[in-house]
Structure 1
Amino acid sequence: MHLKFNKSFHILVIIIIFSVSTDETLSIDPNFEACMPRNCGNGPNISYPFWITNLHESYCGQPDFEVTCYGGNPVVAISDDDYVIEEVFYANNSFLLANSMVYDFENTCPIPLHNFSIEGTPYNYSLSYVDLFFFYNCSTYPIKEPTYRVVCASNDTDLSFAVFHKEVLEYENYSIDSCNSWVNAPVESGDITKMLEMNFTDVLRRGFVLQWSEDYCSDCNRSGGNCGSINNKFTCFCSDKQHSKTCDDGGKKQLTLKVAIVVILIVVGATILVTCASLIFWFRKKTSTYKSIFFWRKSTMTNDNVEAFLKINGSLLPQRYSYSRIKTITNSFQDKLGKGGYGDVYKGKLLDGRLVAVKLLNETKGSNVEEFINEVASISRTSHVNIVSLVGYCFEGCKRALIYEYMPNGSLEKFIYNNKSQETNDDLEWKTMHKIAVGIARGLEYLHRGCTTRIFHFDIKPHNILLDEDFCPKISDFGLAKLCPKKESMVSMLHARGTIGYIAPEVFSRHFGRVSHKADVYSYGMLVLEMVQGKENIGQSVEDTSNLYFPHSIYKKLECDGDIGLQGIESEEDEKVARKMILVSLCCIQANPSDRPAINKVIEMLEGNLESLQMPPEPFLSLRSRTLIASSTIQISEENKSCEIESM
């Protein structure tokens, strides 16, 4: 019956698409294609009111908004200088630009040479800028120390320096006549104290924002058109023809759809019509809380799909950055923090001085589109102290990056493994470990119960737990997550996903039960056990087979009420914390999902009294069964497959 439903739905979709497309794609207006958004290789997509020489026709923009490509970057000429466009904010008619001097890495002294002025241009200043004045070839420095000494433009007799505009009056006793020339350079305002810690090149690299007057382009774009200007009059180029403001004519499309529905009624019949209506109702109900889930089929995942998702959900997503801006933020990827399965992570700094971690996804990894869009789709729905914040993202052709808040203490993995290898003195006290365990559980509780859309992470492990300066844990890396409506608790998956050692049994074998939020509980239990095992007195490597036997050995020690043999236990309170963490983790890794506690119950157990906890059954499979599972052919999915929701 389910197969029949699917066929009926596919017939409906195919006929409607065919009937709509046959009338509208026979002849596409060449002006529509000519004015498609384009870029110079790096930087943002350029569209109306801007237009790129040699890539756009001049009527695709306004005459005074001409852009040229230089070194792969979009450039505008203002006041006898070239300025690189770093971002365009079409939603509020503004753009971020910076003097091209700072992009010339061969220039050892990138100083502005001409006064900046918007006179004679169609632009206006934003409210968030300040002027930086450069004084060149002065006979002496002023008595007061200037903001920046421009050493590269100075010699023994001719001195150069720069000061912010509000400081110019403080130099009134200094004779400006002693300087050969001066120029002003606008820069984006911010925390002046932090700006004073930078050199003048970094300050110029911040860029500044200009604005242009409001136009009709947003309405045209929303209707599927591309904007242009003919005889200085705004025009909306649509796939069929030119329109004055938008492509919406409604009548033709509505008539085509009505004809398609009539054809469906004749061909399919009344019974199939009822089936289709039921499916449409089901589809709308599901997508009202979770519209993005159907994008993620690998066979249809293209850049166009992603761009469509980003456009539809733009108001819900964090800020989008160009690749050139990513390079600026990371200082051309100078400070590498680490390497993950999908790419390298670099330290960076935003314009407001905030430190960030930038994950640059591998261009050659075929599945990184799925991982990227899944991460953006899921984490943008979260806001919790124990969930890492996604500050922004970059999606520019094959260049993809994710920008997170910076976590000074790195991942939990580092502290667990350092304990066992004794390579450093880094060690977590039992009190801190308990705090981290509770924080991770609270983060999972939020994902499972606190979000509008439930999120199952499916990759909880020490590497994906980040620690801030106060060792507050934050769950990261949502590349394998699944999103489900809040009323649903079960999901089906085509392949197992996660990391060997942390995957719940039911994820790779349905003999153990259906997949639900309890899979995250299992992974959490294995993570807490690994935290405890990092304190084990025996000096075994984390890469040997001890992981297979540690749960069994620690269970036997608890069962016999003997010494649990862990390091760092210096008080009775430490002993209670250790035993509590072990008991809770053993409850979490029960083979049957129904025997595991929900994550809110886990929090109660961790924060409650040790005496109230009961010894759980031995939770693991027999050694023979575990060996069979480990040796079986399992495809660990690094791709975000489609999520077919099943009700309980």
Structure 2
Amino acid sequence: MQNLTGGVLILRNKFFIIIYRGKDFLPQATKNLVVDREAELTRCQVQEEGARLKAIESLSVTNEIVSTMSSVGTLSEFHNFQIKYGHRNNDKDKIDIQTEAEKEKLEKEMRKQEHKLVLLKRKIERSARELFKLNSAWRISEQDADQELITEEERNCLRKMSLKMDKTLVLGRRGVFDGVIGSMHQHWKHREVVKVITMQRSFSQIINTAALLEIESGGILIAVEKLRSGYAIIVYRGKNYRRPLKLLPENLLTKRAALQRSLQMQRIGVIIHALPSSFILPISFGEDDYRFLNCSRGVFECGDVKHIGYPFWGKSRAQYCGHPDFELKCEEDDTIQIVIQRQSYRVLNIFENNQTLRMRTMNPVNNNCPARLANISLPNNLSLPNNLFSYFAPFNQNITLFYDCPSPIPLLISYTISCLTNATINTWSYYWVDSQNIRLPGDVWSCGTVVKVPILQAIVTTYTELLQSMMDGFDVTYVVVGNNSECIQCENTRGQCGYNRGMQPTCFCSDGQYQGNCSNSRLDNSRSDSRGVARGLEYLHRGCNTRILHFDIKPHNILLDEEFCPKISDFGLAKLCPRKESIISMLGTRGTAGYIAPEVFSRNFGGVSHKSDVYSYGMMVLEIVGRRKNLNEGVNHSSEMYFPHWIYKSLELDEDIHGNMSKEEGEITRKMVLVALWCIQTNPIDRPAMSRVVEMLEGRTEFLSIPPKPYLCSPPRSPVRSSTTTL
């Protein structure tokens, strides 16, 4: 098969024979056509060459003239040129071709993505129209204003009874439709409560489903409980329940329409996830900015030089991660090249601690002889405007090279550069160490070229030491004028220094770029700290073999390390309990006023559990977002003291908690407030677990619904000197 096909045998075993067609593979018809074309071209060239030679012979010229005739324009000249120069490639042309090919590749990919975007948008619009028609046929019932009330004791009793029930009603992907409500009425024919199992992942969707079941069925929502897999929505039929004549309500979708609605919603969700991220939205708040990640992870490395960051860029480090004039090129032999004021230098080492480059000219020594160098055009004063480099370093000294002197100089006889001296044509070359306190004669300046070369301070007394000092290079101080202080502020606030498209210094933060530092996005720090504390509490509640309840979560007990990562501290009031037990027994009240959960100081609100830490966490987040304490000890009226009431009112009126907030900051604030209000629900059953809190913080804001208003008011009290109380 290999011989017949002309391919390359890749793999052969008892199962497969793999043959690669090769890069030069052509169909037989095309191959024959190419061969015929090449033969025809050769035949034409031979005929033209024969005609030319015949024409030359017909001319009456001497043999001497014919023998010396030029071969310009002949076929032999073309072949000779190909043999001599065909293997040489122009580096500039090669770079231009590569750039053009890369540009064409990117343009093709852009056109492909744009076409894909148009198709996906059409699909979204089509699904949205179908979904609008289905939603228009769905009319939600109005909740009865005179709803039956049950006591907290009855609620707990019904909850415990329903959790022991084996009979359940499973809510499928169709959601709530007429068949679900009909099944609930069938359950209520024999039982007082119905337990609906749902596998929805979003907690806000589960809460909306529970409220919808309560309204459409006419029952009373008892609780929403987390199970090993999914959630249980418990609904009580009520004491005054009357079985309706029609079990299937007419205002809801039918089973078939509900399936169509579910399919359209899933189709829209899949399409949105398939869209390129660059075409949908700016960078999500739940993800880090790609420029921030690239600059923090990407460092310049070449040969023995490792881990070089700002202001340098090059190789795998993107251009926006460094100053435009600080490009480093890694050559094939692992040497580093930098261009400064249109002159190329070879970088020997980089000392970031004192901002120094050790470098030399590209080829200072050739064949054991100093090259004919040009003067270094670097300034010696960094304080001047636009000066980025200076070779006026404390450890440098200059060597002066005198080329093509017209006559010998007696004072410099011992410093002769013998390889550049030719007495027969009256040219002498010398070198001189400027640190020697000897005045040179005036005739040295009559030499053809005088060049000053910086070297490291060393004793140069011999020709060998001269060559070695030129190879060792010299030190150059670098600084980004006007940007050092801003870069330090940027890095101190967990940012990465860089330059934007307008070649202006900027600070890349985890959620975008800002001018100066990441503290311009103060809410980003607050959000990161809140997520860190939430993950820490989740580990205490679920990650350990024994559950740990802190009971004193407040800003004072959250410490930040050198990288601003939050750490939970002060476990003096903590309590251990088995993971299987949700309710624990506790004799006294423990915690800090303003952060204590209601059930901790009064068992009428429910049992003490890990949800008590969730309440304290929510109050702490509200204090961070609101920039004020949750409890003002100087105010006597509880309506003025209870901060969550004020922030809930601002949320309902869609008002900014702080003035002059950008759209991004407003969304971050709204997400943190919604999560915090869910955490401080008075009933512990209504509060999410810390694992769910982490999901809510990392999710999208539009998936969070407004929770019920916390109805607990802080009782009036006298000022307290100590913040922590243990009774």
TM over 0.5: no
With normalisation by structure 2, the TM-score equals 0.30
Structure 1 or 2, whichever has the larger Rg, is: 2
With normalisation by structure 1, the TM-score equals 0.34
